[in-house]
Amino acid sequence: MIPAGMGLSDVVRRSGVPASTIHLYRRLGLLPPLVHREANRFTYSERHVEALRLIRLLRDRRGLPLSRIADVLPGLLAGEDAPGDLELGEDVAALGVDSRRRLVEVAIELFSVHSYAEVTMSDIASAAGVAKGSVYRHFPSKEALFDAVVEELMEDTAARFAAAVRELGGAEGLAGNPVKAATVFASLVARAMPILLELGVRAIKGHEPSQERARRVLRTLAEAAGRPLSADPIPAGLAVINNAFATVLDWAVEPDWPEGAEFGARP
């Protein structure tokens, strides 16, 4: 067992969870507080690794949303028995993770070409080839499904942003070739753009849950894109996002859309 005091890179290696996702889980209050070592130095412990493994187990094998995980995780970490709805044989386990993933992927496709108001749960069920009731077993409402879609895109794009920063050579590489950086990040964000724009429209109209989601998305992506660039990653990350969004919009009015950067498709 690694003693308290491990760094973020150790936690990433031990848990298999990307750093950007770990930061997201921390902001959502899913992880225990960091360990106070000395002065202003805070580190991770084995307890954080255990929590991350449990989160991934509950998400990937049981299909639970992060809001539900936040409710049950403290008890599981404390050694309490799992709630009854997490036992094998319940609907979530019986339907399987693949069904939930399929619904989210289908919802991404539909929300990428239609507005939130135009897409119905019946549409999603039909496109996924399941009964409408099966959709409601995983997601109690269209709002909950849309939240899962935003979360999936946010985590995926943030992880890709963080990897791209490393591949481009960090701050020096981004500064040395801003055109290439804008193109790379634009290709990564293209898949999420239609839904992020829909989220922005709903936020502008005063929909409070969408406003909160939009703030969370921007902060997560900004930190993933800007963390290696500055002690305060938000301004640097937002600059990267602005350039990426502008590039995608430029592509949208060009006669030839770049191959591999289509709306709704993984680059």
pLDDT tens digits, 126-150: 888 777 887 887 788 999 999 989 9
Q: Please check the confidence at residue 24 and state whether its pLDDT lies above 60.
A: yes
Q: Please check the confidence at residue 224 and state whether its pLDDT lies above 50.
A: yes
If DSSP codes are grouped into helix, strand and coil, which group holds residue 156? helix
Greatest pairwise CA separation for the chain in angstroms: 59
| Host domain of residue 174 | 143-253
Question: Of 243, 145, 131, which Cα lies nearest the Cα of 187?
Answer: 243
Whose tokens are 């997560």? That residue is 220
Point out which residues pair with 44 in neighbouring strands: 6
Q: What is the pLDDT of residue 90?
A: 39
Q: Please check the confidence at residue 159 and state whether its pLDDT lies above 80.
A: yes
Q: Please check the confidence at residue 3 and state whether its pLDDT lies above 80.
A: no
Q: What is the pLDDT of residue 180?
A: 87
CATH number at residue 31: 1.10.1660.10
In the structure, what pLDDT confidence band is assigned to residue 95 with cuts at 50, 70 and 90?
very low
Domain boundary among 94, 127, 154: 94
- Whether residue 199 is contained in a domain is answered as yes
Q: What is the pLDDT of residue 119?
A: 94
Q: What is the pLDDT of residue 223?
A: 87
Domain boundary among 94, 129, 158: 94
Please tell me whether residues 84 and 154 are part of one structural domain: no
Q: Please check the confidence at residue 88 and state whether its pLDDT lies above 70.
A: no
Q: Please check the confidence at residue 71 and state whether its pLDDT lies above 90.
A: no
- Whether residue 132 is contained in a domain is answered as no
Question: Of 185, 165, 229, which Cα lies nearest the Cα of 18?
Answer: 165
In the structure, what pLDDT confidence band is assigned to residue 89 with cuts at 50, 70 and 90?
very low
Query: Quick check: 225 and 236 in contact, CB under 8 A?
Result: yes
User: What rounded mean pLDDT belongs to the chain?
Assistant: 79
Mean pLDDT across 240-263: 73
Q: What is the pLDDT of residue 14?
A: 79
Q: Please check the confidence at residue 113 and state whether its pLDDT lies above 70.
A: yes
Mean pLDDT across 84-112: 64
Instruction: Tell me the residue ranges of DSSP E strands in 1-50.
Output: 35-38, 41-43
- What distances in angstroms separate CA 217 from CA 25, 76, 172, one per listed residue? 13, 28, 25
More confident of the two residues 79 and 95? 79
Point out which residues pair with 41 in neighbouring strands: 38
Instruction: Tell me the residue ranges of DSSP E strands in the chain.
Output: 35-38, 41-43
Q: What is the pLDDT of residue 120?
A: 94
* Number of alpha carbons in the 13 Å side-chain half-sphere of residue 207: 13
- Whether residue 134 is contained in a domain is answered as no
Mean pLDDT across 67-95: 61
Q: Please check the confidence at residue 122 and state whether its pLDDT lies above 80.
A: yes
Query: Quick check: 19 and 162 in contact, CB under 8 A?
Result: yes
- Whether residue 109 is contained in a domain is answered as no
Q: What is the pLDDT of residue 250?
A: 83
Residue 130 C-alpha from the chain's centroid? 25
List all residues 6 or more positions away from 27 whose beta carbon is below 8 Å from its beta carbon: 216, 219, 220
CA distance 50 to 45: 9
Domain count, the chain: 2
Domain boundary among 94, 113, 135: 94
Mean pLDDT across 166-190: 85
Q: What is the DSSP string of 92-109?
A: HHHH-HHHHHHHHHHHHH
- Whether residue 263 is contained in a domain is answered as no
Q: Please check the confidence at residue 195 and state whether its pLDDT lies above 90.
A: yes
Query: Quick check: 224 and 217 in contact, CB under 8 A?
Result: no
- In this predicted model, what pLDDT tens digit does every residue of 230-245 receive, in sequence order? 777 888 888 888 888 8
